Amino acid sequence: MRLVVSTCLLGTACRYDGRAKRCDEVARLSRKVRDAGGTVVGVCPEVAGGLPVPRPCAELCGDEVVLANGHRVTEAFERGARLELDEALATHDLPLAVLKARSPSCGVGFVYDGTHTGTLARGNGVFARLLGERGVHMATEDSVRACTPSMEHPVALILGSGMGHLSGLVKPVRRIAYQDIAGFPADARPVEGHSFEATVGTIDGVPVVVYPGRVHLYQGYGALEVTSLVQHARCLGCRVVVFACATGAIPGVARKGLSVIADHINLTGANPLVGWNVTEDSAPLVSTEFVDMAQVYTPYLRGLVLGVARDMGIDVKEGVLAGVLGPSFETPAEVGALKALGVSHVGMSTVCEAIMAHALGMQVLGLTLATNYAGEPGVSHQTVLREAQLHAEEFEGLVRGVLALL
Ligand code: HPA
């Protein structure tokens, strides 16, 4: 695994004020990557661009980097960014980059806006823009912190058909019958390949809560019932949720096997946030149902999966999941329509749950196992379960590999 990290986060005193901004969680991640035989590339585009330490504070204003006195230092920032980019992309591996939040070169998503008043603007720093153009997954130290598990904040794993075997890896502390989970339908019975008991415990020492089965819209349950496990996980303190689901791969776009969900299209006709604010019990968890869905699936977690998969030698790509109601599989015309929509995988779960998790402020990782090609004749629930079994070891390895880095 190749990880690019802003060196100030590792303790190098290279910031404008002559200080470091060490982040223990990022330092720990870097150590783990190195211990596992990976490479950590430290970067500081300002220093690479020839700027002194300490130096006047700079902020990004549109395409220009400006000092408080209005002086422009864009050229040095761009020179440094290009030099560090060559270093970061020295191999064919597309790395994951953990960059200093809000900085004019490394900021991801937000940067200080050039007024030198502490105000933030949406956008990426000069170096982060270049990495983003090359498809590198980027995160800040805030994301690494938010994804760090603890006993108070275990990782939730909500598993789909044929993937429940992962609960066998848990060193259990406590079991919770789904019937005791608020909002979970009292009459629900597991479909084959699912089980209705959550396990709280650890996997390889990492605190987790594993939900080895779920209910689906196609069984006649509502979107709030389908997402009751997510709400439960949030109430238990989980900040990261991993969803795993079986899907069909769209022929010509994706292949059978494991993929990471980068985005989704909700074609289920349902949304768990409908009527959300009228549910008194849940009102404290979500302040508005009009939730921004610009980035549901956490780039940091997606980058970790791709790095772990590469280390394991398995071909894992990212895709777009279409969530459909089911339970019938797709017609050839529907598969053609999904392909035209930019879909790579189609499945009957996960989309509503991911919407709920994102609305609850959770970091979301979506893994999918394409057990068949969408629209192919002869697909049944049994063939889906059989195919899932064939990939059980790979799936376990991927999840353990990611948990080990959190
Ligand atoms: N379509 C929808 N859901 C699925 C499929 C499929 O082909 N395979 C497994 N889940």
Please report the sign of the dihedral spanned by the C-alpha atoms of residue 283, residue 147, residue 245, residue 229: negative
Which pair of structure tokens corresponds to residue 13?
């005193």
From 348, 369, 373, the mutation candidate for ligand 1 (largest count of ligand atoms within 8 A of CB) is 348
Q: Report whether 379 contacts 388 (CB < 8 A).
A: no
Please, which residues bridge with residue 324 across strands? 267
**Atom 3 in ligand 1: residue holding the nearest Cα:** 347
323: phi then psi, degrees, rounded to nearest 5: -90, 125
CA of 39 to the centre of ligand 1 (A): 37
Which of 236, 237, 208, 206 lies closest to 406, judged by CA? Answer: 206
pLDDT attached to residue 198? 96
Please report the atom of ligand 1 found closest to the CA of residue 376.
7
At residue 277, the pLDDT reads 63
DSSP 8-state class, residue 323: E
Which residue has the CA at smallest separation from atom 9 of ligand 1? 247
Q: Whose CA is nearest to atom 7 of ligand 1?
A: 248
CA–centroid distance, 197 to ligand 1, in Å, is 24
Ligand 1 atom at minimum distance from 374 CA: 7
Helix H or strand E segment including 266: strand 257-267
Which residue, among 54, 52, 58, 55, has the nearest Cα to 72 in the 3D structure? 58
Residue 42 and residue 33 in contact, taking contact as beta carbons nearer than 8 Å: no
DSSP 133-188: HTT-EEEEHHHHHHT---SSSPEEEEE-TT-GGGGGG-EEEEEEEGGGSTTS-TT-
The gap from C-alpha 227 to its chain's centroid, in whole angstroms, comes to 18
> Taking a C-beta distance cutoff of 8 angstroms, is the pair 134, 89 a contact?
yes
* Angle made by CA atoms 356, 240, 344, in degrees to the nearest 5: 65
Q: Which residues line ligand 1 (CB under 6 A)?
A: 246-248, 329-330, 346-348, 371-372, 374, 379, 384
Q: Are 269 and 108 in contact (CB under 8 A)?
A: no
What is the reported pLDDT for 32? Answer: 97
Question: Are residues 403 and 206 in contact, defined by beta-carbon separation less than 8 angstroms?
Answer: yes
CA distance 160 to 163: 6
Angle at 207 between CA 281 and CA 399, to 5 degrees: 105
Strand partners, 180: none
Return d(Cα 251, Cα 110) in angstroms, integer: 38
Q: Are 211 and 241 in contact (CB under 8 A)?
A: no
Q: How many whole angstroms from 384 Cα to the centroid of ligand 1?
A: 8
Å from CA of 230 to ligand 1 middle:
22
What is the pLDDT at residue 163?
85
pLDDT of residue 23: 98
Q: Give the pLDDT confidence score for residue 280 in this predicted structure.
A: 55
Q: How far is CA 211 from CA 132, 163, 194, 228, 379, in A?
A: 34, 10, 9, 11, 26
The first and second tokens of residue 250, run together, are: 């769209």
Predicted local distance difference test score (pLDDT) of residue 50 = 93
Domains of the chain by start residue, with CATH = 2-146 (no CATH), 155-405 (3.40.50.1580)
Distance in angstroms (rounded) separating the CA atoms of residues 316 and 257: 8
pTM of the model: 0.95
* C-alpha to C-alpha distance for 198 and 175, rounded to whole angstroms: 6
Using CA positions, which residue lies closest to atom 10 of ligand 1? 247
Q: Distance, CA 247 to ligand 1 centroid (Å)?
A: 4
Q: In tens digits, what is the pLDDT along the chain, a chain of 406 residues?
A: 999 999 999 999 999 999 999 999 999 999 999 999 999 999 999 999 999 999 999 999 999 999 999 999 999 999 999 999 988 888 777 779 999 999 999 999 999 999 999 999 999 999 999 999 999 999 999 999 999 999 999 999 999 878 888 888 999 999 999 999 999 999 998 877 667 999 999 999 999 999 999 999 999 999 999 999 999 999 999 999 999 999 999 999 999 999 999 999 999 999 999 977 655 555 456 777 889 999 999 999 999 999 999 999 999 999 999 999 999 999 999 999 999 999 999 999 999 999 999 999 999 999 999 999 999 999 988 888 898 889 999 999 999 999 999 9
